[in-house]
């Protein structure tokens, strides 16, 4: 990959509207994605383990080229501080912060939605009392961020930021506005599928993660190198929320359900191991 491409896509010129600033075509990016996925599926047929996480080295996502470690992650036995997690509580997060539609004086524009689900760990246990942070674009696909200069309107009644603490069963719920897709500078005519960013802690700090929730049926999925960096279809599907009419409320909001699974707790595993012997 030429360094020129990389220089062109720093956010310093992310506001440049000239589409010629990014010359690689969608067809070319899609071909790269298709080839990587085909090689992955063949490797599974050949007996390799399914990949459940995104590849950090995924060339169709151009920004990953110089930002992925080239050496394998070094395996560590978690110790002391890694087996714990910071504490968050009502002192940190007000109950109203989970409603992104009431943060200003008026109603934000767009489709009001409720997104709800549970945070579980890899053993199926609810992760209670933990901080969930979300951020997103508004109904026009614009973030409130000085580096986002996409020419779509800012909604004065929507910042697109929410926080919640999970309940006793790991449950969370946000009331917000459905975000829109937006263009970015990865390649010519690149558009991100609509998504909400989620930040999660866990009971071990080793469970810390940031991810994105997507909406079902988005036609931009096959075109998006960030979403497609997850080479395994089952794993990709885990990032898509389910429309749930039982969450939808009459004349008020449509409803989506999305459960999040963190990795297993190393701390609990060690305690269990001791208990087993």
Partner 1 sequence: MAQSPNTQAPALKLAATPGQTIGPFYGYALPFEKDNELVNQAHPASVRLHGVVTDGAGTVIPDALLEIWQADEHGNIVSKDGSLVRDGYTFTGWGRTAVDNVGHYTFTTLNPGATEAGKAPFIMLTVFARGLLNRLFTRIYLPEDTAALASDPLLSSLDDAQRKTLIATREEDGSLRFDISLQGEDETVFLSYPRES
- The residues that are catalytic are 143, 182, 192, 195, 197
Of residues 172-191, which lie at the interface with partner 1 (CB under 8 A)? none
Taking CB under 8 A as the criterion, the residue among 66, 246, 250, 251 binding partner 1 is 66
| Closest-CA residue to 212 (of 204, 220, 203, 200) | 200
Asked whether position 106 contacts partner 1 by CB under 8 A, the answer is: no
Asked whether position 13 contacts partner 1 by CB under 8 A, the answer is: no
Asked whether position 262 contacts partner 1 by CB under 8 A, the answer is: yes
The owner of tokens 């199926």 is 124
Name the E strands within 84-146: 112-120, 131-136
Taking CB under 8 A as the criterion, the residue among 22, 114, 135, 190 binding partner 1 is 135
Q: Which is nearer to partner 1, 212 or 248 (CB)?
A: 212
Of residues 242-261, which lie at the interface with partner 1 (CB under 8 A)? 260-261
CB 81, min distance to partner 1, A? 5
Taking CB under 8 A as the criterion, the residue among 29, 180, 190, 229 binding partner 1 is 229
Asked whether position 269 contacts partner 1 by CB under 8 A, the answer is: yes
What's the CA gap between 226 and 211, in Å, rounded?
A: 11
Q: Which is nearer to partner 1, 6 or 254 (CB)?
A: 6
What's the CA gap between 142 and 136, in Å, rounded?
A: 8
What's the CA gap between 218 and 110, in Å, rounded?
A: 17
Angle at 219 between CA 218 and CA 220, to 5 degrees: 90
Paired tokens of 78: 């978690």
CB 69, min distance to partner 1, A? 5
- One DSSP character per residue, 236-265 reads HHTTB-EE-TTT-BTTTBEEEE--EE----
Q: Which is nearer to partner 1, 242 or 249 (CB)?
A: 242
Q: Which is nearer to partner 1, 103 or 248 (CB)?
A: 103
What is the number of other CB atoms lying within 10 angstroms of the CB of residue 277?
A: 4
Asked whether position 206 contacts partner 1 by CB under 8 A, the answer is: yes
Taking CB under 8 A as the criterion, the residue among 6, 26, 173, 248 binding partner 1 is 6
Taking CB under 8 A as the criterion, the residue among 37, 112, 188, 208 binding partner 1 is 208
Site stretch for partner 1 (CB under 8 A), options 37-45, 63-71, 170-178, 241-249: 63-71
Site stretch for partner 1 (CB under 8 A), options 25-33, 85-93, 168-176, 243-251: 85-93
What's the CA gap between 219 and 88, in Å, rounded?
A: 38
Paired tokens of 227: 């979403």
Taking CB under 8 A as the criterion, the residue among 36, 177, 239, 241 binding partner 1 is 239
CB 170, min distance to partner 1, A? 12
Paired tokens of 213: 């929730």
| Closest-CA residue to 203 (of 260, 262, 275) | 262
Paired tokens of 92: 């940190």
């Amino acid at each position: 990959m030429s360094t020129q491409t990389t220089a062109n896509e720093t956010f310093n010129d992310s506001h440049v509207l000239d589409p010629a600033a990014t010359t690689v075509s969608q067809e070319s990016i899609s071909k790269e994605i298709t080839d990587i996925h085909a090689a992955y599926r063949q490797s599974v047929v050949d007996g390799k383990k399914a990949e459940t996480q995104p590849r950090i080295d995924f060339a169709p996502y151009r920004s990953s080229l110089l930002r992925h470690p080239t050496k394998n992650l070094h395996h560590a036995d978690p110790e002391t501080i890694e087996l714990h997690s910071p504490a968050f509580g009502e002192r940190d997060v007000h109950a109203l912060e989970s409603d992104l539609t009431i943060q200003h004086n008026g109603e934000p524009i767009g489709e009001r939605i409720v997104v709800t689900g549970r945070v579980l760990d890899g053993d199926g246990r609810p992760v209670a009392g933990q901080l969930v942070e979300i951020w997103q674009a508004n109904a026009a696909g614009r973030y409130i961020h000085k580096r986002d200069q996409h020419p779509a309107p800012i909604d004065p009644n929507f910042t697109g930021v929410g926080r919640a603490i999970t309940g006793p069963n790991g449950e969370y719920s946000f009331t917000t506005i459905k975000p829109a897709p937006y263009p970015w500078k990865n390649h010519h005519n690149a558009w991100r599928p609509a998504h909400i960013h989620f930040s999660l802690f866990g009971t071990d700090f080793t469970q810390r993660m940031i991810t994105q929730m997507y909406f079902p049926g988005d036609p931009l999925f096959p075109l998006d190198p960030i979403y497609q960096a997850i080479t395994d279809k089952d794993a990709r599907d885990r990032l898509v929320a389910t429309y749930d009419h039982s969450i939808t409320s009459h004349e008020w909001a449509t409803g989506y359900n999305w459960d999040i699974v963190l990795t297993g707790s190393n701390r609990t595993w060690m305690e269990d191991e001791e208990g087993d012997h």
